[in-house]
Structure 1
Amino acid sequence: MTETDILAHRLARATEVAQVAGALALKYFHARDQLVIETKRHPSDLVSEADREVETLIRDALGAAFAEDAMLGEEHGLTEGSSGFTWVIDPIDGTLPYLAGLPGWCVSIGGCDADGPALGVIYAPVLGELFVAARGHGALLNGAPIRASQGDLRSGLLGIGANDRVESARVGQMLTGLMDAGSSWVRYGSGALMLAWAAAGRLVGYAEPRMSAWDCMAGYTLITEAGGRVLPFPDGSGLTKPAPVLGAAAAAYDELERICAFGTEKNW
């Protein structure tokens, strides 16, 4: 098979796996009061048995189909591979809304290679929405093509994320700059889902000072294939460390990058 054929094969399998994983996550979602929940870095950084079992399902399915690929997941870390392709997995992005009974969570399966983001599948089971994209193949929502917004930073809502990896005062400065520029922003529980919404033109973009690869890789592919732009995520060993994430409509990107200044200010 050609590289294009292999990528299409990976995307097809990832799409199937995401839907099976989403069904398992949804089963746990409806029985969430019975879940065993643990705290990770801080009280609002939670993980449940659902997160771990869904990631195991995804890893087992993709590993059986693509044994030479590497895998990086939020719950089970990095497994090295030899193909040059890395699967980047967040079994349940938006664990807090998930555990609170809110619909804004998703299964995110991304993939990258030496050229960057290569494929992405984001499935939101409660919302019934399946986003898929692969390099050179475009981006789809439930089988229909999607496009990023054509407007600037003031033409719609901007998605924002933040966490304890960045000083709260610095986040406040960023938000002040955005509001002074006339931007209206919203923060939702799942960064991956907000990136998908940027690809679909529902948001003009998304920005977060520190985000992990498993949160953004699928969304990055969706945005680029939908005609938007993204801030490159570190590759190599940098793939395993949190980094600034920014994706937006082409007409909004430069201004958003300037205001956020993720790549130029040392205090990020």
Structure 2
Amino acid sequence: MFTSENDSLMARYRFACSLAESGGKLAYEFYQQRESLQTDHKGSDLQDVVSRADREVESFVKSRIAQAFPDDGFLGEESGSTDCDKRVLWVVDPIDGTSAFLNGLHTWCLSLAIVADGEPVIGVVYDPNHHELFHACKGQGAWLNDLRIEPHAAATVVGGVMGVGTSHRVSSGDFLPFLDELLQHGGMFVRNGSGALMSAWAAAGRLIGYYEPHMNPWDGLPGIVLMREAGGATNNYLADGGLDRGNPVLLASKTLYSQLQQWVKQPLL
């Protein structure tokens, strides 16, 4: 993967954790003045909003990465891609859950992942409202601040709460059959507006899993790494052009994953 592979990976891991906290604290400063922020809509979807906070936090994160690792590529929700063909690619959403952010809800985060040689190897989600840093690196386990995390121990869906998400990028027919199966089997669900944060909660065992029929890579990849390193199972998110066009995300404990997978009606690699 790298020359001096472990040292290079760990250097990026440490930097990613520190940067997520710094970027999240900057986002929180904007959050405290959110009523004065100008917002815009992305395309025709009135639910997909962006603010000056999103752009400035991403600019901050992007500039710090360029200074520390000038040979790495970057893919951000707001600014797009720079050198995506590099062996190491940073994938960033400065504020996942912008609608929650703008409406004073505490369910948003900064999400960050690193893809090296086509494999997601680092995932970081920082929740500045609760000072919680979820972080994982390939081969190093998954952590919440300084505590090791693992998936929920439930043997069936009645043993906990499932996290779900959706967007107008997909149809209701892609999403509702999963909910119907979940409810028919006695399960329950929650949706908080941030897929990256709910994915982190699933890796930490707060939720029994997470499903969304389409996630962009800056939101989907951190949870993929977190759940794998926590000891759970995920779909192959980067298959079939996932980095370019996004893919479904399903993650859960190894015990529950196969059952949940049967309820997903769309192709799941």
**TM-score normalized by structure 2?**
0.94
Q: 1:31 aligns with which of 22, 30, 33?
A: 33
Deviation at 1:264, TM superposition (A): 6.1
Matching of residue 213 in structure 1 with residue 241 in structure 2 = no
Question: Match of 2:230?
Answer: 226
Structure 1 vs Structure 2 CA RMSD:
1.7
Query: Which one-letter code corresponds to 1:248 in the other structure?
Result: A
Query: Which one-letter code corresponds to 2:131 in the other structure?
Result: G
Distance 1:236 1:8 in 2: 29
Distance 1:46 1:197 in 2: 24
Matching of residue 43 in structure 1 with residue 46 in structure 2 = yes
Contact 2:202-2:227 within 8 A present in 1 as well: yes
Unaligned 5+ segments in structure 1 are: none
Question: Match of 2:98?
Answer: 95
Tell me: CA distance 1:81–1:167, structure 2 relative to 1, closer, same or farther (3 Å): closer
| Percent of paired sites with the same residue | 40
Query: Which one-letter code corresponds to 1:37 in the other structure?
Result: T
Distance 1:128 1:80 in 2: 32
Distance 2:60 2:181 in 1: 42
Query: Which one-letter code corresponds to 1:7 in the other structure?
Result: L
Contact 1:68-1:82 within 8 A present in 2 as well: no
Question: Match of 1:186?
Answer: 190
Query: Deviations along 1:168-199, whole A, 9 cap, x unmatched?
Result: 24422221111112221111110000000011
Tell me: CA distance 1:155–1:124, structure 2 relative to 1, closer, same or farther (3 Å): same
Question: Match of 2:77?
Answer: 74
Query: Which one-letter code corresponds to 2:164 in the other structure?
Result: I
Question: Match of 1:7?
Answer: 9
Q: Aligned with 1:260: secondary structure? A: coil
Contact 1:68-1:81 within 8 A present in 2 as well: no
Query: Which one-letter code corresponds to 1:56 in the other structure?
Result: S
Question: Match of 1:239?
Answer: 243
Contact 2:58-2:93 within 8 A present in 1 as well: yes
Matching of residue 138 in structure 1 with residue 136 in structure 2 = no
Distance 1:19 1:57 in 2: 12
Deviation at 1:113, TM superposition (A): 2.1
Deviation at 1:236, TM superposition (A): 8.1
Contact 1:116-1:235 within 8 A present in 2 as well: no
Tell me: CA distance 1:237–1:69, structure 2 relative to 1, closer, same or farther (3 Å): farther
Contact 2:40-2:51 within 8 A present in 1 as well: yes
Question: Match of 1:258?
Answer: 262
Deviation at 1:261, TM superposition (A): 3.3
Distance 1:238 1:12 in 2: 26
Query: Which one-letter code corresponds to 1:90 in the other structure?
Result: D
Distance 1:104 1:225 in 2: 23
Q: Count the aligned residue pairs.
A: 265
Matching of residue 163 in structure 1 with residue 167 in structure 2 = yes
Q: Aligned with 1:154: secondary structure? A: helix
Tell me: CA distance 1:141–1:54, structure 2 relative to 1, closer, same or farther (3 Å): same
